[in-house]
Each structure stands twice: as structure tokens, then as C-alpha cells.
Structure 1
Amino acid sequence: MADLPADWIAEAAALRQDLHAHPEVLFDLPRTAGIVASALRDWGCDQVVEGVGHSGVVGVINGTNSGPTIGLRADMDALPMTEATQLPYASQVAGRMHACGHDGHTAMLLLAARKLAHSRDFAGTAVLVFQPAEENGGAGARAMLRDGLIERFGLERIFGLHVMPDLPTGMFATRSAGIMAAADSLRITVTGKGGHAGRPETCIDPLLVCSHIHVALQSILSRNIEPTQAGVVSVTMIQASDNEDTIAPQASMRGTVRTLDEDVRDLIEARLKTMVPAIAQGFGAAAEVAYLRDYPVTWNDPKTTELFAKAVAKVTTTTTDTPPRMISEDFGFYGAAVPASFGFLGMGDGPGLHDPKFDFDDRLLPLGARVWLSVMSGNT
């Protein structure tokens, strides 16, 4: 395909910055989804469907020759956090921010869509999947699948891309098998006996129990899992009394569990449900464990990943042996339904994902678009 016109790239950057200034979260994306759908229609997509998976947008572009039906996915949602960049296009919505690059993912795929619709110089069908609610456990991918994404649009494979600040700028990194971890929610409620903090002997302090549970949880990783296996158990919230002179009758703990293997996932859940109540009982307290399985492992189909890397290598430096990461993505739901592959596009040094000072690098917009164009022109 011919290169991207300079004015298209400039317009994509302006669109990206506009999305950045007006972030929307989870499934509540009326402005963002409307901009995406309008652009796809203006550029002549063969089909534009809104409301897939509540607020997702799907665009369909047919190539000049017969070939496979390929899904290209971008996420659209922002995060519920406060921006600290002081950019001229910083978030105008209090407590919301594009801190994970989804504004850039959306703009990259739109730029590619414009070129695909203009040239039609590829075989098969490009299905452009603009997804809501990737962040905060929204599972927008699952919602789109439940709304018939695969069946309605005939997807044979699907590809995903995410910017990554700790990779060299412009480098594409992927791997076969698991590339990102499953993410599960851990919720523990400890019930003891409350009372005056000056008389702890009359109480059963649930915070003391939580402290012992917190430490003991790490023994699951060090003493129950093979050293070559990966797992993370992180307690991120402990809540009890709102009064410094009071021992609360109850305390709660919340956290996350990350794994790359289903057997390890099962083991951690089983050990948690055995260990936590036993520790509490030892202090005369009681504990309940809720283990909620959220996102699955993002699993890269080997053949699809080989095709992905081969296509991307035509436009940028590529590696296929990036180590798996214990961060998570709901793209794994697609991989459970159809051959799928996911990769990272390097952004170089700078604030990391979910950092209040993060901003997408607009210089990556044409490269990201060329990645998608190469995937389609390679008849993947």
C-alpha cells in the first residue's frame, strides 16, 4: 500500500488529542464511540455497526480480492484517575484520564481504516473492532463476544496491539503462548470482636489477623508453586475502623492474583480458601474468602503469532521472544474463541502505563497504522 498522506497523520493526531481531552470510561462512551462510527462512515466503510457489546463499534472493509476475515482490535476506554500532565489537551473531565494509551490505539486503527477503505489494496475482509471497557474489570471483549462478534462478522483470526513505555520506541514485541497473565480478584472478610483500642485483651483484633494473613499469603508462591512457574498475590487494600481509638469488629482485604497457567491458578485459589480461614481460626476470629476469576490469560496462538510477527517485521523491528508480563488484558477472551495474537509497540522511556503523567506519543500513530496495514496486505 502507498504511504499515509501527511494530512491524514496530522488529522489522526488531532483526533487522538481530542479523545485524550474528553475521556470516557467503561461502557459509557457515547462521545468516543460516536466519533469512531462517524469517521468510519465518512471514509466509506462497507458496514458500520454501533452498540456491539453495549457500546462497541465495528467497521467492515472489503478488499479487492477474496481472502480471510481478519479482526483488528483497539480499545477506547479511559481510566478513573486524575491527570497530572498539564498538557494543552489534558483531560477536561475530573477524575478521568487516558493513562493507558487507548486514545492512541483508537486513532491508530482509525488511520489504518481510512487507508484500507481508500485503497482496498488487500485480500479478504478487515473487521475493525473498537472495544469498550477493557479497564477496571469491565470485560468489554467478553461483552462483544456475547453480542455475537465472531458469528455476526465471521472472524477467522483477531489481532491486538498495545503501546508499552519500557520497550524501545517503535519496537514490536510478541511471543507465542501466554503473553499476559490471568487476573483474578481476591476479597477476604475477617470477623473478630471490636472494642476499645486501649483494652485489646477484650477484643479479637481483625487487623492483626489480616496482618498474619497478608504475610502468609506469600508462602503460597514460595512454598507451593514450582520456582519455574509464575504467580503474583498482591493485597492492595485493607480496611477496618474509621476511629483511631477503636478496634473494629470486622476488617476486609482486597487484592489481585495473577497467573500464566490454569493449574497454578487453581492451586492458588485452593490454598487461599484453606489457609485464610485456618489462620483466622487460630486467633479466635473467622474469615471468608471470595475468589473471583476476572480476565483469562492472554494466549497467543503460535501460527497466528508467526503471521503477525512476519507482517510487522516489514515495517519495524520485531522480536518474538518477549517475556510474559504479569499485567492483564481482556484480549484473552478473544483468544478463547478464535485464533488470536497480541503484541506490544514500544514507546521508549517515560511515565508508565496508568501513571498520571502518561501520554501517548503521537509519532507512533503512522507506525501503528502501518502495522495494521501490513497485517491486511500480507493476507494474514
Structure 2
Amino acid sequence: MPEQGGIAIPDEIAAFNDEIVAIRHDLHRHPELGFEEVRTAGIVAAKLAEWGIEVHRGVGRTGVVGVLRAGNGGNRSVGLRADMDALPLHEETGLPFASESAGRFHGCGHDGHTAILLAAARYLAATRQFDGTVVFVFQPAEEGLGGARAMIDDGLFGRFPVDEIYGLHNSTITPHGHVHVSPGPVQAGADFFDIVVRGSGGHAAHPHAARDPIVASAGLITALQGIISRHTPPREAAVLSVTAINSNTAYNIIPETVHLRGTVRTLDGALKKRIAQRIRAVAEGVALAHDVRVEVDIRDAVTPLVNAAEQADAVAAAARAVVGDANVSTDWRPSMGSEDFSEYLTHVPGAFFSLGHHGDIPLHSPRFVLDDGILPVGAALFARLVQDRLPPEA
């Protein structure tokens, strides 16, 4: 078993790593947005079938599920998940395998996550050193489009039952090969909101003859921030951000409407609901104060991600075996970013963890570069988890 800077990589994974890197580069060159991952899904399905893994396509529209059984018919099962979608972002990395699709870019590293799970699947299919069933979940549309819910609604856990499930995400804020995992809340839930403020337009020189939605919107934005500072307990983390304001572009016209959009992030589902109620109440008050109409649409996008204690401990134990004690942290401070792996955890216990890599350009930047060096590390971690949780009979 060779070591990569003190990290133990199984010989089989090291032997085919160049092929896995090539697959990752190909996926990077041809990124696909959420629910459009037809080419990506085709590559995933073809590789799984080539390695003797049972393949199911079209789960949650463009998702792929692989099923692998080994051992003496053990009745336990473990799920492993990777996301496949890219971002609607123009790439500025200058890489030789940069995106060939304008305005589409794997700026979050999902091409790497897909390659990692493929490598783990190939290794487990070749070695079969476990007793039970592994379900490989290749998910579409993680970037805010509800891919996890789509797979669940399509019967994921009814058709492919698992006792527990695991997922990972690359990280540029921790050292190469460093694993972060903790029990409890680790990622925020998210709501998305659209608010339309409707007034009556007119000439900018005669504002008294109009009902100005811009002034009302300014008051609304300020009042919305008071929900966090004055209606949220100080010890409970919450964020409310207005991220877009769209209206008229002329200098001398008071417009009819202003369209606001934004997001709410919390670590507690009940708090998320209370904030949504306050947004609607504040909007009603602003409408009355400014004699305008305010229409509010709030969508529950992602559930808070809460790791189960047993499965978080299992990740930490597997990680210590692969990357060493010094490269494992179990004090992961919760992030206000969201990850729809959380949806799986509302159905079965599991854990989500981060894997650090070289590079300091953040996720979702047009210059983000994934370090290929983490591909065999992530694969080894997934494989070790399966072997630990589904140990073969002696």
C-alpha cells in the first residue's frame, strides 16, 4: 500500500489513478448544469457497467445509481454519494482541459467528487472485501435545484435501501488530505425568496403623483435585516442576504415594480420557518406604510445538514486509518453554506465530511482549481468506510 505524503492509498487505486484523473479532466472539459447531466450520467453508467456493477439510470431525472453486492449475503447496506452538476459560471483558470461550454464550469469540484466515487466503486468491485451491499448514488442538480429531493421523490431509498449514507466535499481552507467531520449541525439550511414590490409609476420630477416602489424597497431591505438582529436569538446562527435588486434603468422614470431576491441560511429548521414568517409580516407592514403592494414567494431549498454521531465517528475512524491522526479534525465549526446531502439525512443516518486539498482559490470562483491529488485519497476514504461498516466475515 503506497503512501502519498503519509496518506495510505491501496495499491489498486494507485494503479488506475491516471485513468480516474483522465475521466475527471474529461468531465471538467464538458460540464453540464443541474438536470442536464446527460453526458456525465452516460459516462458514469458506462464505467460502472464495465466494472461489473448493477446500473440504474434516470433516477431523479438524470441521476445514476450503482449497486454492488459482495460477501456471504450480509443484509446491511451502505450508501455513498457524489454530485455531478456544474455551475453557470465562466471559467478563467487557463487549464489545458478547461470548460469547452461557455458559461458552464465545474467551479465547485463536482467533477472531482464524481471521479472519487467512480474510483471507490472500481476498487470495491475489484476487491469485494466487504459483506453486504454498497449503493453508489451519483446525484444531479446539487447547486440549488433540488437534485437530492428529486432522487428521493423518485424512490431512491425504497428501490435501493441503505442503512446509512456518506458524502464528501473538497475544501481549499484545510491542508491537503485533511478530513473535517463532526456530529450535529455542520451546514445550514437555505430558503430562497423573491419579493415583488408593486407601486404606480410616474415622472421622477413629480414623485407625489406616484407610489414609489424603490423607496418602499429600500425600507423593506433595511427592515429585513432587523429580523436577524432583533428577532433571532443571538446564540442561534442565521443569515439573511438580499442578493439582487431589479427595476427600471431610466433616470427620469419612477418604475411600477421592483424585484428583490435573496436567501436565508440557518442551522435550525424551526428557526428557518420563523424567519420566513417574519419576512412576510415585515413585507405586509412595508406595503401598508408606503401604500404599495408586496408579493412574497419563499421556497424551502435545503434542509439543515445534521450528521449522526455514530456515522461521524465512523468517518473519523476511517480517516485516521487513511490519512493519519494528525490529519483528522472532529471540531468542524458549522458553515452557513448549504449542501443538499442534508436531504438524505432526514431519511437515514449518515455523515458528510470535507477533504482538504492544495490551492487557496475559493469554491465558486471562476479561477477555482481542484487538486487532482485528492482523487485517490477520497476514493480510499470511501472504500475504507465500506470495509469498516460492512466487514467481511472472518
Give SS of 2:373's match: helix
The answer to whether structure 1 residue 312 and structure 2 residue 319 are counterparts is: yes
Tell me the distance in 1 between the aligned counterparts of 2:213 and 2:372: 50
Segments of 4+ moved more than 6 angstroms: none
Alignment TM-score, normalising by the size of structure 1: 0.96
Give SS of 1:170's match: coil
Alignment TM-score, normalising by the size of structure 2: 0.93
- 1:165-212 alpha-carbon deviations (Å, 9 max, x no partner): 112221111111111111101111111121112222322211111111
AA matched with 1:314: A
TM-superposed CA distance for 1:64, in Å, is: 2.3
Instruction: Please say if residues 217 and 272 of structure 1, whose CA atoms lie closer than 8 Å, have aligned partners that are also in contact.
Output: yes
Instruction: Give the equivalent residue in structure 2 for 1:55.
Output: 62
The answer to whether structure 1 residue 340 and structure 2 residue 347 are counterparts is: no
AA matched with 2:33: V
Which residue of the other structure, out of 348, 352, 377, is the alignment partner of 1:367? 377
Tell me the distance in 1 between the aligned counterparts of 2:383 and 2:75: 15
The answer to whether structure 1 residue 16 and structure 2 residue 24 are counterparts is: yes
Instruction: Give the equivalent residue in structure 2 for 1:352.
Output: 362
Instruction: Give the equivalent residue in structure 2 for 1:329.
Output: 339
TM-superposed CA distance for 1:126, in Å, is: 1.2
Which residue of the other structure, out of 138, 149, 156, is the alignment partner of 1:149? 156
Q: Which moved more, 1:288-297 or 1:230-239?
A: 288-297
Instruction: Please say if residues 199 and 210 of structure 2, whose CA atoms lie closer than 8 Å, have aligned partners that are also in contact.
Output: yes
Instruction: Give the equivalent residue in structure 2 for 1:109.
Output: 117
Instruction: Please say if residues 83 and 90 of structure 1, whose CA atoms lie closer than 8 Å, have aligned partners that are also in contact.
Output: yes
Tell me the distance in 2 between the aligned counterparts of 1:248 and 1:4: 65
Instruction: Please say if residues 199 and 256 of structure 2, whose CA atoms lie closer than 8 Å, have aligned partners that are also in contact.
Output: yes
Tell me the distance in 2 between the aligned counterparts of 1:183 and 1:79: 18
Tell me the distance in 1 between the aligned counterparts of 2:309 and 2:132: 21
The 5-angstrom pairing of residues 192-271 of structure 1 reads 192-271=199-278
Instruction: Give the equivalent residue in structure 2 for 1:25.
Output: 33
Which residue of the other structure, out of 4, 11, 14, is the alignment partner of 2:12? 4
TM-superposed CA distance for 1:49, in Å, is: 0.9
Tell me the distance in 2 between the aligned counterparts of 1:144 and 1:214: 36
TM-superposed CA distance for 1:348, in Å, is: 4.3
AA matched with 1:217: L
Tell me the distance in 2 between the aligned counterparts of 1:365 and 1:67: 30
TM-superposed CA distance for 1:24, in Å, is: 0.6
Instruction: Please say if residues 123 and 379 of structure 1, whose CA atoms lie closer than 8 Å, have aligned partners that are also in contact.
Output: no
Instruction: Please say if residues 299 and 335 of structure 1, whose CA atoms lie closer than 8 Å, have aligned partners that are also in contact.
Output: yes
The answer to whether structure 1 residue 95 and structure 2 residue 103 are counterparts is: yes
Instruction: Please say if residues 82 and 168 of structure 2, whose CA atoms lie closer than 8 Å, have aligned partners that are also in contact.
Output: yes
Instruction: Give the equivalent residue in structure 2 for 1:121.
Output: 129
Gapped runs of 5+ residues in structure 1? none
Tell me the distance in 2 between the aligned counterparts of 1:185 and 1:73: 25
Q: Which moved more, 1:285-294 or 1:72-81?
A: 285-294
The answer to whether structure 1 residue 84 and structure 2 residue 92 are counterparts is: yes
Instruction: Give the equivalent residue in structure 2 for 1:163.
Output: 170
Instruction: Please say if residues 142 and 333 of structure 1, whose CA atoms lie closer than 8 Å, have aligned partners that are also in contact.
Output: yes
- 1:297-316 alpha-carbon deviations (Å, 9 max, x no partner): 11211122122221122112
- 1:220-279 alpha-carbon deviations (Å, 9 max, x no partner): 111111111010100001111132221101111100001111221122111111112212
Instruction: Please say if residues 123 and 376 of structure 1, whose CA atoms lie closer than 8 Å, have aligned partners that are also in contact.
Output: no
Tell me the distance in 2 between the aligned counterparts of 1:163 and 1:23: 18
Q: Could you say what the CA RMSD is over the residues aligned between the two structures, in angstroms?
A: 1.4
Instruction: Give the equivalent residue in structure 1 for 2:386.
Output: 376
Instruction: Please say if residues 91 and 97 of structure 1, whose CA atoms lie closer than 8 Å, have aligned partners that are also in contact.
Output: yes
How many corresponding residue pairs? Answer: 378
Tell me the distance in 1 between the aligned counterparts of 2:39 and 2:316: 34
Instruction: Please say if residues 105 and 161 of structure 1, whose CA atoms lie closer than 8 Å, have aligned partners that are also in contact.
Output: yes
Instruction: Please say if residues 318 and 384 of structure 2, whose CA atoms lie closer than 8 Å, have aligned partners that are also in contact.
Output: yes
Tell me the distance in 1 between the aligned counterparts of 2:377 and 2:215: 53
Instruction: Please say if residues 195 and 259 of structure 2, whose CA atoms lie closer than 8 Å, have aligned partners that are also in contact.
Output: yes
